[in-house]
């Protein structure tokens, strides 16, 4: 027996598509959502259908596609779609569509759906820089956010024609990550980090042995990127220092500086921390580096290789803690494995005491955990002794939980003066 009803556990997502050139990227958003188990109904505008045909959306979603209120009238789709949805995502959201949503205009199926939705709504803008920065658009965005709508920060990069600037649609993987986060939270992302400047490190450093070999680790950078992405969407101005990050796309609205070695990361993080309200050391920094770097590739010979002499790298987190200004919050990360002496959490507590940071995220690593995977979990420890479990889930969900705890545990004494209570 077959039917069209959704299984109760299958999230129902309405994917709205606005009439901009970035509409073609909605196909990748749709593919990722359906492949991750979401039931998706695509609602394009008439303009969107001039860029991507209805047949494409129908083939990818397995569902009929309509753009007008008078399509499929007996099922009252202009009301039912919004009422039944667990999440509405609009990507791209053009300046025209943002204006309609802000002022309650409903002249097609998508704008009617936005009026009837009582679930989280994510609007992902895409337009030329001048349109994004226009006072009318900024006012519309502010009005939508004041109502609890999540209006994502657009990315920067190549636009249509020869133009480059802010207004590019974020990477489809990033849009889907934000969508999954909203489904997990079941509410809007707060804009509680407006005015804050945040410096975050991510990825694993690499210490060269010769021109082709290095000492490194398995960090992918995904957790640091998730922290940066969520902070930017909550209103923070984010500087991300990225070591090796498995070719991750830069998070929208985030300034990225790329580095390779621990020494380079150390220098970049000290610069970024100078003007930051919150400093997060999520990178996996190599503890050691070779004393000497061979100028040429070390050749394989019949005799045993010479031992590689190592020296200790500076403790960047400890340095940042020692150099912090009054009012600055420092967050560390501890990737731990249990041993005969202590468990993961005990090692994390000892590291928090040793480093002296305000907060420490403790992750259990190894056996497919934390590194090189999409999900994460662990504990958030505070200098005051509060221990908050971080349930296993997406790295964006963990990032959201970390920021929730940090922001709720900070008293506001000005845009640059927040410290744990």
**Residues annotated catalytic, as ranges:** 217
Take residue 242 and report the two structure tokens written for it: 């990225």
316 labelled as ligand-binding?
yes
43 labelled as ligand-binding?
no
315 labelled as ligand-binding?
yes
Between the alpha carbon of residue 37 and those of residues 9, 12, 13, 42, 61, the distances in Å are 10, 10, 11, 15, 11
> Do residues 227 and 220 lie in contact, with contact meaning Cβ atoms separated by under 8 Å?
no
Query: Which of 124, 174, 193, 133 has its CA nearest to residue 153?
Result: 124
25 labelled as ligand-binding?
no
What is the rounded CA–CA span in Å between residue 125 and residue 112? 19
314 labelled as ligand-binding?
yes
What is the rounded CA–CA span in Å between residue 190 and residue 400? 10
Give the 3-state secondary structure of 374-411: CEEEEEEEECCCCEEEEEEEEHHHHHHHHHHHHHHCEE
Task: Name 102's Cβ contacts closer than 8 Å, sequence gap at least 6.
Answer: 139, 140, 141, 143, 144
3 state SS of 21: helix
> Do residues 104 and 142 lie in contact, with contact meaning Cβ atoms separated by under 8 Å?
no
355 labelled as ligand-binding?
yes
- DSSP-derived secondary structure letter, 366: B
> Do residues 178 and 396 lie in contact, with contact meaning Cβ atoms separated by under 8 Å?
yes
What is the rounded CA–CA span in Å between residue 92 and residue 74? 29
3 state SS of 209: coil
Between the alpha carbon of residue 74 and those of residues 69, 70, 77, 87, the distances in Å are 11, 9, 8, 23
Q: Which residue has the tokens 């997406």?
A: 394
What is the rounded CA–CA span in Å between residue 250 and residue 239? 11
208 labelled as ligand-binding?
no
Take residue 167 and report the two structure tokens written for it: 């207004």
**Residues flagged as binding site for CTP:** 287, 297, 314-317, 333, 351, 355
Binding-site residues: 287, 297, 314-317, 333, 351, 355
């Amino acid at each position: 027996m077959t039917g069209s009803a959704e299984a109760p556990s299958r999230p129902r997502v309405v994917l709205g598509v606005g009439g901009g050139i970035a509409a073609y990227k909605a196909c990748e958003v749709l593919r990722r959502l359906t492949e991750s188990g979401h039931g998706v109904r695509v609602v394009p505008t008439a303009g969107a259908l001039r860029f991507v045909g209805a047949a494409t959306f129908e083939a990818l979603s397995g569902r009929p596609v309509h753009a007008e209120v008078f399509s499929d009238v007996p099922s009252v789709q202009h009301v039912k779609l919004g009422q039944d949805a667990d999440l509405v995502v609009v990507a791209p959201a053009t300046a025209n569509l943002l204006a309609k949503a802000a002022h309650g205009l409903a002249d097609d199926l998508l704008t009617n759906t936005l009026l009837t939705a009582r679930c989280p709504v994510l609007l992902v803008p895409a337009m030329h820089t001048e349109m994004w920065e226009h006072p009318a658009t900024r006012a519309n965005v502010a009005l939508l956010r004041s109502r609890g709508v999540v209006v994502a920060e657009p990315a920067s990069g190549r636009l249509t024609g020869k133009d480059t600037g802010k207004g590019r649609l974020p990477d489809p993987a990033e849009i889907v990550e934000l969508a999954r986060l909203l489904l997990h939270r079941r509410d809007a992302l707060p804009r509680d980090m407006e005015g804050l400047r945040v410096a975050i490190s991510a990825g694993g450093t690499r210490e060269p042995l010769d021109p082709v070999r290095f000492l490194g680790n398995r960090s992918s950078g995904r957790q640091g990127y998730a922290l940066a992405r969520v902070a930017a969407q909550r209103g923070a101005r984010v500087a991300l220092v990225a070591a090796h990050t498995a070719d991750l796309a830069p998070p929208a609205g985030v300034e990225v500086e790329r580095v390779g070695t621990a020494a380079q990361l150390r220098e970049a993080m000290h610069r970024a921390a100078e003007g930051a309200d919150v400093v997060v050391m999520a990178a996996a920094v190599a503890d050691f580096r070779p004393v000497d770097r061979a100028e040429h590739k070390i050749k394989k010979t019949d005799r045993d290789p010479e031992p590689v002499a190592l020296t200790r790298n500076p403790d960047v987190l400890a340095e940042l803690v020692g150099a912090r200004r009054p009012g600055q919050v420092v967050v560390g990360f501890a990737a731990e494995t249990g041993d005969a002496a202590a468990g993961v959490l005990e090692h994390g507590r000892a590291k928090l005491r040793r480093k002296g940071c305000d907060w420490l995220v403790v992750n259990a690593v190894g056996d497919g955990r934390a590194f090189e995977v999409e999900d994460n979990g662990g504990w958030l420890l505070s200098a005051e002794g509060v221990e908050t479990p971080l349930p296993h889930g997406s790295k964006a969900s963990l990032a959201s939980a970390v920021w929730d705890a940090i922001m709720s545990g900070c008293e506001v004494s000005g845009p640059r003066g927040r410290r744990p209570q």
